[in-house]
Amino acid sequence: MQLAPVYPILYRILQPTFPYCLWSARVKEPIVALTFDDGPHPQHTPQLLKVLDKYDIPASFFWLGVCVERSPEVAKAVYQRGHWVGLHGYNHQMFTSFTAPILKQNLVKTQLAIAQACKLDLDYVQTHVRDVRPPNGVFTPQILKSLQSWSYRPVMWSVVPEDWLLPGIAVVAQRVLSQVRNGSLIVLHDGMFGGADVAQTTDLIVKNLLQRGFNFVTVEQLWQLSQAV
């Protein structure tokens, strides 16, 4: 069952209800943040990187710890290009299934995988890699409270084209292009589900948004713009 038409409605309901999450940025400038979940993937992510290199634009990646461990060289390639990195949990298990201590361990385990793959000091990663997107976008007020108490920043979305169901490159691109606004935060997937199309889909989306005059920013830049308003 495709829920793509429902996500814009959910965004309008949830964004004001949970203002401490990053959903988008209220800006007048035509800027947008491209984000990718569920990676890194040994085939899909390198293909995506070629597209991002082609247009020389930044993106943000929300990684699964288990995938970082499986493809450390891909993770390192993403990081070395200057793309922003966040956490998506260790194995895509929903955060609502964890107790608070286990959830914290899950995030730390993912940070450890990133530190090892990218050849970074763990203390540095734990200080700087602190954006968290819950798997499936599922959270509770208590989960948000816990994340904030541990100095993590919850990141959500404003444009969700449901690419993981592979409805087709043109369909995903059309959904994004019809919904995007100044300050939008777009979610795509470069993992096992949806990743097969991600490079071509991203190419089509980026080409069209550049023609519209949009500039691309990272999640970190979107946070800064959101807090400046």
Active-site residue set: 37, 189
Torsion angle, CA of 178/193/203/79, rounded to 10 degrees? 120
Total residues found in the chain within this entry: 229
Closest among 72, 92, 195 to 137, alpha carbons compared: 92
CA 196, CA 189: separation in Å to the nearest integer?
A: 9
Contact of 186 with 157, CB cutoff 8 Å: yes
Q: Using CB atoms within 10 A of its CB, is residue 96 exposed (0-12), middle (13-18) or buried (19+)?
A: middle
Dihedral angle sign, alpha carbons of residues 148, 133, 107, 138: positive
> Which two tokens mark 205?
């989306």
Provide the b/e sequence for 22-50 (b: ≥16 CB within 10 Å): bbbbebeeebbbbbbbbbbbeebbbbbbe
CA atoms within 13 A of residue 163's CA, in its CB half-sphere: 31
Contact of 32 with 64, CB cutoff 8 Å: no
